[in-house]
A and B are shown apart, each in its own frame.
Chain A
Amino acid sequence: MLDLENIKNEALNAIKNADSKLLEELRIEYLSKKGKVQSLMAQMKDLSSEEKPKFGQLVNDLKSAISDAIDKKKQELESAQLNLKLESEKIDITLDSYNLKHGSMHPLTLVQKELEDIFIGMGYNVAEGPELESDLYNFTKANTPEGHPARDMQDTFYVDPTHLLRSQTTAIQMRVLENEANNLPIKVICPGKVYRRDDDDATHSHQFMQCEGLVIGENITVADLKGTLELMIRELFSQNASIRFRPSYFPFTEPSFEVDMTCHICHGKGCSTCKGTGWIEILGSGMVHPNVLEMAGIDSKKYTGFAFGAGIERIAMLKYGISDIRDLYTNDIRFLDGFKR
Chain B
Amino acid sequence: MKLSLNWLSELIDISDLSVEQIVSKMVKCGFEVEAIDKLSDATNLVVGKVIECKDHPDSDHLHITKTDIGCEVLDIVCGAPNCRQGLKVIVAKVGAKLPGGEIKASTIRGQSSNGMLCSLKELGIDESLIPDDSTSINGIEELDDSFNVGETDILNKLGYEDTILDVSIYANRPDCLSMYSMAQEMGAILDKEVKLPDYEFQSNIGNKGNFKLESKSKNCPHFLAKVINDVTIKESPEWMKRHLRANGVKCINNLVDISNYVMLETGQPLHFYDLRSIPNKEITVRDDYEGPYVALDGIEYKIEKGDLIITSDNKPIGIAGIMGGDNTKILDDTKSIVIEAALFDHAQIRNTSNRLGLQTESAARFSKGLEPMSQHKAMDRAVHLLLELADAKTIEETVEYGKADYHPYEISETLTHLNSLIGKNYTMQEATDVIRRLGFQYRVEGDTFTSIIPSHRSTDLKISVDIDEEIIRLTDFDDLKSTLPLMPQTVGKLTNIQNIRRSIRNELSQLGFYDTVNYTLVSKKYIDETILNDNEAVELISPLSDARRYLRTSLMNSLLENLAYNLDHNNNNINLFEISKIYDSNGEQERLGILMQGSIVEHKLKHINIKTDFYVIKGIIMSLLSKLGFSSQRINILENNIDTTHFHPYQSAILMMDNQLLAIFGKLHPSFVKSLKLDDVYYGEVLLDVLANSKPSKIKAPVLNKYPSVSRDISLLLKEDIKVAEIIKTIKKVGSHLVSNVEAFDIYQGEHIEDGYKSISLNIVYEDPNKTLTSDDVNEIHDKILNELISTFNATQR
In the assembled complex, A31 has its CB within 8 A of some CB on chain B: no
* Contact A159 B541, CB 8 Å, known A103-B512, A121-B492, A228-B485: yes
In the assembled complex, B779 has its CB within 8 A of some CB on chain A: no
Contact indicator A120/B517 (Cβ below 8 Å): no
State how many angstroms separate the Cβ of B487 from the closest Cβ of chain A.
5
Interface residues of B in 326-346 (CB under 8 A from A): 345-346
Q: In terms of DSSP, what is the predominant structure of the interface of chain A?
A: mixed
* Contact A153 B509, CB 8 Å, known A126-B498, A224-B423: no
Hey, which chain A residues are within 8 Å of B490, CB to CB?
A: 123-125, 187
* Interface stretch of the complex, out of A36-44, A53-61, A76-84, A331-339: A331-339
Name the CB-closest residue of A to B347.
A147
Distance in angstroms between the alpha carbons of A189 and B150 in the assembled complex: 68
The residue from B27, B488, B509 contacting A103, defined by CB atoms under 8 A apart: B509
State how many angstroms separate the Cβ of B35 from the closest Cβ of chain A.
13
Distance in angstroms between the alpha carbons of A126 and B482 in the assembled complex: 24
Contact indicator A304/B421 (Cβ below 8 Å): yes
Distance in angstroms between the alpha carbons of A207 and B583 in the assembled complex: 15
Hey, which chain A residues are within 8 Å of B548, CB to CB?
A: 206
Contact indicator B174/A149 (Cβ below 8 Å): yes
Distance in angstroms between the alpha carbons of A40 and B165 in the assembled complex: 120
Interface residues of B in 509-545 (CB under 8 A from A): 509-521, 538-544
Name the CB-closest residue of A to B464.
A290
Distance in angstroms between the alpha carbons of A185 and B469 in the assembled complex: 24
Distance in angstroms between the alpha carbons of A88 and B486 in the assembled complex: 72
In the assembled complex, A52 has its CB within 8 A of some CB on chain B: no
Interface residues of A in 221-271 (CB under 8 A from B): 221-224, 226-228, 230-231, 244-249, 251, 254-256
Contact indicator B515/A106 (Cβ below 8 Å): yes
Name the CB-closest residue of A to B506.
A105
The residue from B472, B484, B540 contacting A255, defined by CB atoms under 8 A apart: B472
Contact indicator A220/B485 (Cβ below 8 Å): yes
In the assembled complex, B294 has its CB within 8 A of some CB on chain A: no
Interface residues of B in 463-512 (CB under 8 A from A): 463, 465-466, 468-469, 472-473, 477-478, 480-495, 498, 502, 505, 508-512
Distance in angstroms between the alpha carbons of A75 and B485 in the assembled complex: 75
Distance in angstroms between the alpha carbons of A120 and B541 in the assembled complex: 39
In the assembled complex, A197 has its CB within 8 A of some CB on chain B: yes
Hey, which chain A residues are within 8 Å of B350, CB to CB?
A: 147, 149, 152
Name the CB-closest residue of B to A330.
B565
Name the CB-closest residue of A to B486.
A219
State how many angstroms separate the Cβ of B255 from the closest Cβ of chain A.
31
In the assembled complex, B233 has its CB within 8 A of some CB on chain A: no
Contact indicator B583/A132 (Cβ below 8 Å): yes
Contact indicator B468/A108 (Cβ below 8 Å): no
Hey, which chain B residues are within 8 Å of A246, CB to CB?
A: 27-28, 30
Contact indicator B473/A247 (Cβ below 8 Å): yes
* Contact A101 B575, CB 8 Å, known A113-B502, A247-B472: yes
Hey, which chain B residues are within 8 Å of A113, CB to CB?
A: 502
The residue from A105, A222, A331 contacting B518, defined by CB atoms under 8 A apart: A331
Hey, which chain A residues are within 8 Å of B795, CB to CB?
A: none
Contact indicator B485/A103 (Cβ below 8 Å): no
Name the CB-closest residue of B to A249.
B170
Contact indicator A247/B583 (Cβ below 8 Å): no
A-B contact number at CB 8 A: 240
- Residue from A109, A230, A333 with most neighbouring chain B CB atoms (10 Å): A333
Distance in angstroms between the alpha carbons of A251 and B172 in the assembled complex: 8
In the assembled complex, B699 has its CB within 8 A of some CB on chain A: no
Name the CB-closest residue of B to A121.
B492
Contact indicator A98/B509 (Cβ below 8 Å): no
* Contact A334 B514, CB 8 Å, known A126-B494, A223-B483, A256-B469: no
In the assembled complex, B276 has its CB within 8 A of some CB on chain A: no
Hey, which chain A residues are within 8 Å of B516, CB to CB?
A: 106, 331, 336
Distance in angstroms between the alpha carbons of A174 and B692 in the assembled complex: 24
Distance in angstroms between the alpha carbons of A219 and B488 in the assembled complex: 12
- Residue from B30, B174, B574 with most neighbouring chain A CB atoms (10 Å): B30
Distance in angstroms between the alpha carbons of A11 and B484 in the assembled complex: 89
Q: Chain A: interface residue count, which band?
A: 35 or more
Distance in angstroms between the alpha carbons of A154 and B120 in the assembled complex: 39
Contact indicator B517/A152 (Cβ below 8 Å): no
Contact indicator A120/B485 (Cβ below 8 Å): no
In the assembled complex, B602 has its CB within 8 A of some CB on chain A: yes
Name the CB-closest residue of B to A97.
B603
In the assembled complex, A18 has its CB within 8 A of some CB on chain B: no
Name the CB-closest residue of B to A159.
B538
Q: How many chain B residues touch A (Cβ–Cβ < 8 Å)?
A: 91
* Contact A333 B473, CB 8 Å, known A104-B514, A206-B544, A328-B517: no
0/1 interface trace, chain B 568-608, chain A, CB 8 Å (1 if under): 01010111100001010001100000000000111111000
Contact indicator B509/A217 (Cβ below 8 Å): no
* Contact A187 B28, CB 8 Å, known A125-B492, A157-B540, A247-B469: no
In the assembled complex, B420 has its CB within 8 A of some CB on chain A: yes
Distance in angstroms between the alpha carbons of A103 and B516 in the assembled complex: 11
Contact indicator A132/B587 (Cβ below 8 Å): yes
State how many angstroms separate the Cβ of B369 from the closest Cβ of chain A.
6
Hey, which chain A residues are within 8 Å of B583, CB to CB?
A: 131-132
State how many angstroms separate the Cβ of B26 from the closest Cβ of chain A.
11
Distance in angstroms between the alpha carbons of A336 and B576 in the assembled complex: 10
Distance in angstroms between the alpha carbons of A96 and B574 in the assembled complex: 20
In the assembled complex, A1 has its CB within 8 A of some CB on chain B: no
Distance in angstroms between the alpha carbons of A303 and B528 in the assembled complex: 50
Distance in angstroms between the alpha carbons of A331 and B602 in the assembled complex: 23
Hey, which chain A residues are within 8 Å of B171, CB to CB?
A: 148-150, 152-153, 249, 251
Contact indicator A99/B602 (Cβ below 8 Å): yes
Distance in angstroms between the alpha carbons of A165 and B520 in the assembled complex: 10
* Contact A125 B493, CB 8 Å, known A98-B603, A217-B487, A332-B565: yes
Contact indicator A223/B424 (Cβ below 8 Å): yes
Hey, which chain A residues are within 8 Å of B484, CB to CB?
A: 122, 224, 227-228, 231
In the assembled complex, B562 has its CB within 8 A of some CB on chain A: yes
Distance in angstroms between the alpha carbons of A121 and B492 in the assembled complex: 7
The residue from B423, B544, B571, B576 contacting A222, defined by CB atoms under 8 A apart: B423
Interface residues of B in 418-453 (CB under 8 A from A): 420-424
The residue from B485, B600, B603 contacting A101, defined by CB atoms under 8 A apart: B600
Interface residues of A in 118-156 (CB under 8 A from B): 119-126, 128, 130-132, 146-150, 152-153
Name the CB-closest residue of B to A131.
B581
State how many angstroms separate the Cβ of B674 from the closest Cβ of chain A.
22
Name the CB-closest residue of A to B519.
A207
Name the CB-closest residue of B to A205.
B519
Contact indicator B469/A254 (Cβ below 8 Å): yes
Distance in angstroms between the alpha carbons of A96 and B468 in the assembled complex: 67
- Residue from B174, B548, B600 with most neighbouring chain A CB atoms (10 Å): B548
Contact indicator A147/B423 (Cβ below 8 Å): no
Hey, which chain B residues are within 8 Å of A148, CB to CB?
A: 171
State how many angstroms separate the Cβ of B264 from the closest Cβ of chain A.
20
Hey, which chain A residues are within 8 Å of B575, CB to CB?
A: 101, 103
In the assembled complex, A160 has its CB within 8 A of some CB on chain B: yes
* Contact A126 B423, CB 8 Å, known A102-B512, A223-B482: no
Question: Nearest 10 pairs between A and B by C-beta?
Answer: A223-B423, A101-B512, A147-B347, A247-B30, A221-B423, A249-B170, A255-B469, A227-B482, A120-B492, A103-B513
- 22 A–B pairs (Cβ distance < 8 Å), ordered by A: A96-B604, A102-B509, A120-B494, A125-B493, A146-B347, A149-B174, A150-B171, A152-B367, A157-B521, A158-B540, A187-B487, A193-B520, A219-B486, A223-B482, A226-B482, A227-B482, A230-B482, A254-B466, A255-B469, A255-B473, A329-B518, A333-B574
User: Which positions in A face B, CB cutoff 8 Å?
Assistant: 95-96, 98-99, 101-106, 108-109, 113, 116, 119-126, 128, 130-132, 146-150, 152-153, 157-160, 165, 185, 187, 193, 195, 197, 199, 206-207, 215, 217, 219-224, 226-228, 230-231, 244-249, 251, 254-256, 287, 289-290, 304, 328-334, 336-337
Q: A120-B494, A187-B485, A331-B566 are in contact. List 11 more A-B contacts (CB 8 A).
A: A96-B605, A158-B542, A159-B538, A165-B551, A187-B490, A195-B521, A206-B521, A217-B487, A224-B483, A249-B171, A336-B514
